[in-house]
Amino acid sequence: MAAPDPKLNKVIEDPTTTPSKIAGSWLQIEREKSQLVAALNSIPLGIMLTDDHGNIVTQSAGVEKILGPSGVSGALWSLPKLQEKILGDFNIAEECTKAISQKAQIPPQDIAFGTKTLRIFIDPINLMKESLAPIGAIIIIEDVTAQKQAKQLQDEFFAVASHELKTPLSAIRANAEMILHAYGNILQDEKLKSMITTIRQDTIRLIDIVHDFLDASRLEEQKVQFRQEAIYLPPIVKEVIGQLQSLADFKKIYLKLEPFEDSLPQVIADQERVKQVLINLIANAIKFTQNGGVNIKLEKQEPYMKISVSDTGVGIPEYRKNMLFEKFIEKDENSKEASSGIGLYICKMLINHMGGKIFLEDTKVGIGSTFVFTIPLAKPNTGSVIVRF
């Protein structure tokens, strides 16, 4: 047993100094507590602190602004009372317990709370000494109702606008093609002929954008059917290469499928949706490549098939990497190529629905990029099933 500290004994035994030291420490704790409460109340979010048993010990003023009163005057909210108003399967008490036991942040969740949509963040409260268990959890609540409603209105507007634009654009394209086909040989004014050709090309691009918006809208509203069937990828990839070869030839770049194993297994997916993803990725690779070319590679990586599309194009700047699969991204001012930016967003939804993943594996500005998506391997005797998402 260690010997008593003489200085500590002196403080304990001195009846005049001990109360003053305790009072001084208490005053400092109260100051720090007041500063913490003031800081919490100044943040326009709801913040709750729990102990390691899931009891709420502190909450900011923002909690009542977002959730309303707890039901008992002056009382704090409790996790059971909070759970009563949460719609859906999200269990906030279980998530707090998980954060504490795993010493890890819980990914943000959007939940329905009455007529509101709330975004919940949960983190463990760790002590400075990592070997000690967390002393509780911090719950941050953000009201995202207005954001969700604005996004819904935006999506509805684009869906309606896309439907309304489709018919007149198709008519413009048809008329431009008819003029070029019927009168192309007799049009003497090359400038006029060039203008009509430009109208046709730009109309085709606009129609493609409209189709993209309609596809995105149907996927978001879960109005798309997926056929889950065992398919063999090489013929599908070769078919897509055949469709896009003329684009590569026009730019004098190569487009090829790398050699693959003879024993390559089948995957479980929707053939047409896989084609759609391949066309988007390969067409993008061709679009942003001026020299060199595009390689497609198939690799078995249990329990998935890995499909890589690599190019020797312009590459992607660091600041744009995290925006690639968003629905709306700003046009890259350094790029001369036109793009709506929604294609990768659609690819992500398609691949997610088929049980795979899609991501940017590698990129270097001025050297090129590699996009990858994965699809689950088919199990023996897999039949064909239509699934509605």
Task: State whether 234 and 369 are in the same domain.
Answer: yes
Average pLDDT over residues 364-382: 91
Which residue spans within 67-208 are E strands per DSSP? Answer: 86-87, 106-113, 116-124, 136-143
Q: What pLDDT was estimated at residue 190? A: 83
Task: State whether 251 and 341 are in the same domain.
Answer: yes
Last residue of a domain, one of 194, 220, 246: 220
Q: Mention every residue, 6+ apart, whose C-beta is less than 8 A from residue 271.
A: 227, 229, 231, 236
**pLDDT of 179 over the 90 cut:** no
Last residue of a domain, one of 220, 240, 266: 220
Contact call for residues 288 and 314 (beta carbons, < 8 A) = yes
Q: Is residue 29 part of a domain?
A: no
pLDDT bucket at 100, cuts 50 / 70 / 90: very high
Q: What percent of the chain has pLDDT over 90?
A: 46
Of the two residues 102 and 155, the one the predictor is more confident about is 102
| Euclidean distance between CA atoms 244 and 153, whole angstroms | 36
Task: State whether 230 and 352 are in the same domain.
Answer: yes
Of the two residues 221 and 8, the one the predictor is more confident about is 221
Overall domain count for the chain: 2
- What's the token pair of residue 255? 């487009």
Mean pLDDT taken over the chain: 84
Task: State whether 168 and 301 are in the same domain.
Answer: no
Last residue of a domain, one of 189, 220, 251: 220
Q: Which domain holds residue 384?
A: 225-388
Of the two residues 314 and 192, the one the predictor is more confident about is 314
Q: Which of 33-42, 240-249, 310-319, 369-378 has the lowest mean pLDDT?
A: 33-42
**pLDDT of 1 over the 50 cut:** no
Q: Is residue 349 part of a domain?
A: yes
Of the two residues 87 and 122, the one the predictor is more confident about is 122
Sign of CA dihedral 160, 162, 166, 168: positive
Could you tell me which residues are beta bridge partners of residue 142?
119
First to last CA, the chain: 68
Task: State whether 201 and 310 are in the same domain.
Answer: no
Query: Domain holding 261: CATH number?
Result: 3.30.565.10
Task: State whether 230 and 349 are in the same domain.
Answer: yes
